[in-house]
Structure 1
Amino acid sequence: MMRRRTTLLTGCTALALALGATACGGGPVSAGDDKPLSGQTVTVAGVWSGSEQKNFQKVLDAFSAKTGAKTQFVSTGDNVSTVVGSKIEGGNAPDVVMVPQVGVLQQFAQKGWLTPLSATAQSTVDAGFAPVWKKYGSVDGTLYGLYFKAAHKSTVWYSPDALAQAGVDTPKTYDDMLKAGHTLSDSGLAAFSVAGQDGWTLTDWFENIYLSQAGPEKYDALAAHRLKWTDASVVTALDTLGKLFKDKQLIAGGRTEALNTDFPGSVEKVFGPKPDAGMVYEGDFVAGVAKDQFGRTIGKDADFFPFPAVGGGTAPVVSGGDAAVVLKDGKNAAAGMKLVEYLATPDAAAVWAGAGGFLSPNRKLDLAKYGDDVTRATAKSLIDAGDTVRFDMSDQAPAAFGGTKGAGEWKLLQDFLRDPSDPKATAAQLESAAAKAYQG
């Protein structure tokens, strides 16, 4: 993406400050020019489509209004690595890529595709973000990625009416959650809707259980493959997850139906016109589907409780996110860097926060900018977690293991959902796939 300038024109300093450090990029600029990037176009690639792309465009439009730059967004689909790699090879590299996986960010950096973030962006990150976000955006001590959008993946969403009718309170422990699920089932509604058709949702289930049960040090070691997947802690977590999968009372339609349910379908089973379950586990983005597709009022018809503590551990906070990185081969990399500097500011985050379907890891963003109390509570939980947040483990892994449909961890956990009878065998299969992917 954008190439960092090592020297800034002193005549632009005041202007840069006035523009929230988005000025002085891309071509000759006079000190009195209030649209310093006029005539330049910044190309941005990312996985977003639909409402996410529409809302991100509002952020890009705000950047354009501030700087005069035009923007062009290119949706890559899920396979960001392949699409961006082919664009670089074809001489058509975007300036900025919104990278959804730590493993892909590391891969891009190791291939020499990325420009380190500017001093301005780095100082904004230092001032506004918990150090853990800088850690996940860095490779070998160099900061390449700015985490603009975050996901809170430790939220269990439920129908308040369903729980109230069953006389169930929101649980504080994992065992209490399963007990509440049985009470729901006895009242005629399955406990959980599980999106087994999408393997990534199953990795999220495992990660929350593992982080709470095994603790953050082992979580970090397993994420980096310093700990083997055959470790007893992995088998224990799989056994805990398997007890949920085995229980016919707890999963809507049983394991077979779960394997044929994708993520939007899992939300529909709880918040659609004909509910089959009272709860669905997934990230804060469940709220967007419940609201936009099924007309639910967040906080009234749909609410969440934090993923509860497992086996005497601490309640987990697992996150994901999209990091803005700058490609060296982008045609307008300098202007792209100015976009990343803007994305680091609370002003940029506020644009999408107001539109909904968004969480920011920027602790300088006023929580009042979010549109509803539930989103504010989710955002506060993420910010308050500070450095105890752990990034989605599968997103830290090489894509061949943690991010490929029908392969690696996604497929093996789907197989485990299909037959959860042998956690040790599944752990061995996971280790074999991980060893191959990390070696590659």
Structure 2
Amino acid sequence: MLAVAGVMGLALTGAVACSSDDGGTAKDPDSAECQPFKDYQGHSGTEVTAYSSIRDVESDKLDQSWKLFEDCTGIDIQHEGDGAFEAQVQVRSDGGNAPDLAFFPQPGLLQRFATAGKLKEASAKTKETAQKNFSTDWLNYGTVAGKFYAAPLGSNVKSFVWYSPGLFKEKSWAVPQTFDEMIQLSDKVASGGGGISPWCVGLESQDATGWPATDWLEDVILRDHGPDVYDQWVQHKIPFNDPRIVSSLDKVGSIIKNNKYVGDPKREVTTSFQEGGLPVKDKKCAMHRQASFYANQWPDGTKVAQDGDVYAFYFPAVDPAKGKPVLAAGEFVAAFADRPEVQAVQAYLASSEWALSRAKLGSWVSANKNVPVETFESPIDKLSVQILQDPKSVLRFDGSDLMPGSVGAGTFWKQMIEWVNGKDSAATLAAIEASWPK
């Protein structure tokens, strides 16, 4: 692995052999820097389209991460990120305009497409590569009815609270170690004046508006009731509106619907998730609960570190003695086409070579067990990987992403917005329960 990483690091600064027709660079496929891509060659001049919800800076880094692969294989990967991915991937598929590859952030949505016969089973090469690099739990999320369709792409830890180390130092605030300590800190900030809000929240995300609120509920259920109840709820073995779930939603409401903590909660609905936490950097907001990938949303020049402009602490457990509940998520690379060049790209994206390339660009986390922690340069990335690998972590995948798409990427998102706008917890959860496919 170290030898491959060294070759790839050298290749990123190596000389260009010649220009390609699409304005990129082509390299001698027999050169030393192209040796890691030998298994993927033989498809020069082809194009593979990829479609995902990954946009902006993260999308640019994807393009950089597979640039050397493109130069050494001659395969042109055309990636499109779309904030309306969950709805539009269905529209494109139904209209006969499906992408070659789709990066599904919801295993539940992936399962729907696989069950409908829309996806191609992964090649033997992709499956073999994925089995070398990922745990059984992660592989199972890309498996439907015993058939393997998709390996993980990126991963993220959702159980984080972003804050300003400088502000905490100025105010002598300690990073909370338990949920109760976090509420006590919230009360202290709320009563302290100075124009600082305890919490800032952004729920708008185009067609996916509402998903940050579902993350809040899932994290709190894990902390209130543990992984077994969480699993039963996600799998609909208990009703969506079980009294324990109602109680957890009320607890979430005590924070993000609390005027003393957030001002007018209805502003959250029109504040984009990208902008939701920015007041933290300006020291106008003390805390913002959001995933590790939020590191990409801070303005250029922001130092993300324990001694930096912003950093994140673990969203604390109610009872740390019972373990460390962790909510995680990620994308899975599934194929609508099985042309040889598509299979080559899908296999490459399951490899440790690609994960190493993407990790070196920063602001990204992988569940790939063959990528060492030290490869991740950003402090928040390292912290995320350490949490994922911590034996005390009680890891669960994002619940809404595992649910049937019509619920997890549909009524759950929509009803949480109605809830923020004033609907009570019991009625909100009852409406989602009524929408569960019979």
1:87-115: CA deviations, max 9, x gaps?
A: 44554432211112112110110111222
Tell me which amino acid in the other structure corresponds to 1:56. Answer: L
Q: Within 5 A, what are the aligned runs for 1:292-371?
A: 292=300, 295-299=302-306, 300-310=308-318, 314-327=323-336, 330=337, 333-371=339-377
| Match for residue 400 of structure 2 among 388, 394, 398 | 394
| Match for residue 428 of structure 1 among 424, 427, 430 | 430
1:220 maps to 2:223: no
Structure 1 CA distance, aligned partners of 2:284 and 2:357?
Answer: 36
1:2-24: CA deviations, max 9, x gaps?
A: xxxxxxxxxxxxxxxx9558626
Tell me which amino acid in the other structure corresponds to 1:424. Answer: A
Tell me which amino acid in the other structure corresponds to 2:333. Answer: A
Cα distance change on mapping 1:265 and 1:341 into 2, 3 Å: same
Structure 1 CA distance, aligned partners of 2:53 and 2:235?
Answer: 24
SS of residue paired to 2:39: coil
Tell me which amino acid in the other structure corresponds to 1:109. Answer: A
Number of equivalences: 397
1:122 maps to 2:127: yes
Cα distance change on mapping 1:88 and 1:333 into 2, 3 Å: farther
SS of residue paired to 1:202: helix
1:62 maps to 2:65: no
Tell me which amino acid in the other structure corresponds to 1:228. Answer: P
Q: Within 5 A, what are the aligned runs for 1:75-114?
A: 75-80=81-86, 82-114=87-119
Cα distance change on mapping 1:233 and 1:207 into 2, 3 Å: same
Tell me which amino acid in the other structure corresponds to 2:52. Answer: G
Cα distance change on mapping 1:246 and 1:115 into 2, 3 Å: closer
The CA RMSD over aligned residues, in Å, is: 2.4
Structure 2 length as normaliser, TM-score?
0.83
Any unmatched runs of 5+ in structure 2?
1-33
Shift of 1:85: 4.0
SS of residue paired to 1:324: strand
| Match for residue 198 of structure 2 among 191, 205, 209 | 191
Partner of residue 210, structure 1: 221
Shift of 1:160: 0.9
Tell me which amino acid in the other structure corresponds to 2:240. Answer: W
Structure 1 CA distance, aligned partners of 2:368 and 2:46?
Answer: 28
1:287 maps to 2:295: yes
Shift of 1:246: 4.8
Structure 2 CA distance, aligned partners of 1:168 and 1:390?
Answer: 30
Shift of 1:309: 0.7
Structure 2 CA distance, aligned partners of 1:361 and 1:386?
Answer: 16
Q: Within 5 A, what are the aligned runs for 1:20-39?
A: 23=39, 35-39=41-45
1:249 maps to 2:249: no
1:295-346: CA deviations, max 9, x gaps?
A: 344431111111111367543211111111111xx3x622111112111122
SS of residue paired to 2:371: coil
1:199-227: CA deviations, max 9, x gaps?
A: 11110000000112222122122112222
CA contact (8 A) 2:48 2:100 kept: yes
1:147 maps to 2:152: yes
Structure 2 CA distance, aligned partners of 1:152 and 1:180?
Answer: 23
Structure 1 CA distance, aligned partners of 2:80 and 2:298?
Answer: 27
Structure 1 CA distance, aligned partners of 2:358 and 2:70?
Answer: 15
With 217-226 and 104-113 compared, the bigger mean Cα shift is at 217-226
Cα distance change on mapping 1:76 and 1:302 into 2, 3 Å: closer
Structure 2 CA distance, aligned partners of 1:388 and 1:21?
Answer: 36
Structure 1 CA distance, aligned partners of 2:78 and 2:399?
Answer: 31
SS of residue paired to 2:199: strand
Structure 1 CA distance, aligned partners of 2:237 and 2:277?
Answer: 35
SS of residue paired to 1:116: coil
1:156 maps to 2:161: yes
| Match for residue 233 of structure 1 among 214, 223, 244 | 244
Cα distance change on mapping 1:121 and 1:278 into 2, 3 Å: same
Identity %: 27
Cα distance change on mapping 1:86 and 1:21 into 2, 3 Å: same
Structure 1 length as normaliser, TM-score?
0.83
Stretches (4+) displaced over 6 A = none
Structure 2 CA distance, aligned partners of 1:130 and 1:427?
Answer: 33
| Match for residue 380 of structure 2 among 370, 374, 377 | 374
CA contact (8 A) 1:185 1:249 kept: yes
With 306-315 and 198-207 compared, the bigger mean Cα shift is at 306-315
With 39-48 and 312-321 compared, the bigger mean Cα shift is at 312-321
CA contact (8 A) 2:197 2:261 kept: yes
SS of residue paired to 2:302: coil
Shift of 1:153: 0.5
Structure 2 CA distance, aligned partners of 1:301 and 1:86?
Answer: 42
